Amino acid sequence: MMLKRLLPLSVFLVLVVLMWKGLYHDPRKLPSPLLGHALPAFELPTLASAESVDSSILAHKVTLLNVFASWCEACLQEHPLLVDLKNRGLVNIVGLDYKDDPKQVKVWFSQMGDPYQTVLLDTTGNYAINLGVYGTPETFLIDKKGIIRYKYIGALDADVLNHQIIPEIQLLAQL
């Protein structure tokens, strides 16, 4: 008898829990279907030279691929963290400049530093579509075999870097 009376309350509590969790769920952060798949092949020019490079530049190194643009406010915010990461020498950082003006990027770097080993230029944004990019910045971790292992959507912060990304890098470095 008692149980029957508690039913509406328990249903209500379950709903409260679900909705509470829903409040913290960001619909903009979608899981990527590319995890566990090889990084899509590319042949793109770089900031350094008009000659195209392909995925051989990633050869056998754990790589952090950062999709950014000089017009992107959030990218500006995370930039110092990337420079710091580069200085720590933990990982090879490659940039993908998305629908941007290379001249602006150079200006940006002269003011704020350049954390990238290479900056790939995707002026049309067509390669980024292959990565499922829908808003900059986005950061990928790629293992030594060229498989995408991790994706973060949005500006990096110290928390994500220290608790998710760096541990993952260290894990991948040992494989």
Residue ranges that bind another protein, judged by CB under 8 A = 27-28, 30-34, 99, 124-126, 129-132, 134-135
**How many other C-beta atoms can be found within 10 angstroms of the C-beta atom of residue 53?**
17
Cβ proximity to another protein: between 6 and 30 the closer is: 30
- CA atoms 97, 151, 65, 132: torsion sign: negative
Reduce the secondary structure of 68-115 to three states and give it as a string: ECCCCHHHHHHHHHHHHHHHHCCCEEEEEEECCCHHHHHHHHHHHCCC
Q: How far is the CB of 30 from another protein (least distance, A)?
A: 5
Least distance CB 29 / another protein (angstroms):
11
Q: Which is nearer to another protein, 126 or 162 (CB)?
A: 126
Quick one: DSSP state of residue 38? B
Find all residues with CB under 8 Å of 152, minimum gap 6, and list them: 138, 139, 140, 160, 164, 165
Minimum distance from CB of 38 to another protein (Å)? 12
Instruction: Name residues whose C-beta falls within 8 Å of residue 142's C-beta, 6 or more positions apart in sequence.
Output: 39, 58, 62, 63, 64, 65, 148, 149
Cβ at position 99, least distance to another protein in Å: 7
With respect to another protein, which residue has the nearer C-beta, 30 or 107? 30
- Shortest Å, Cβ 132 to another protein: 4
Residue whose CB is less far from another protein, 38 or 112: 38
Residue (28 or 88) nearer to another protein, CB: 28
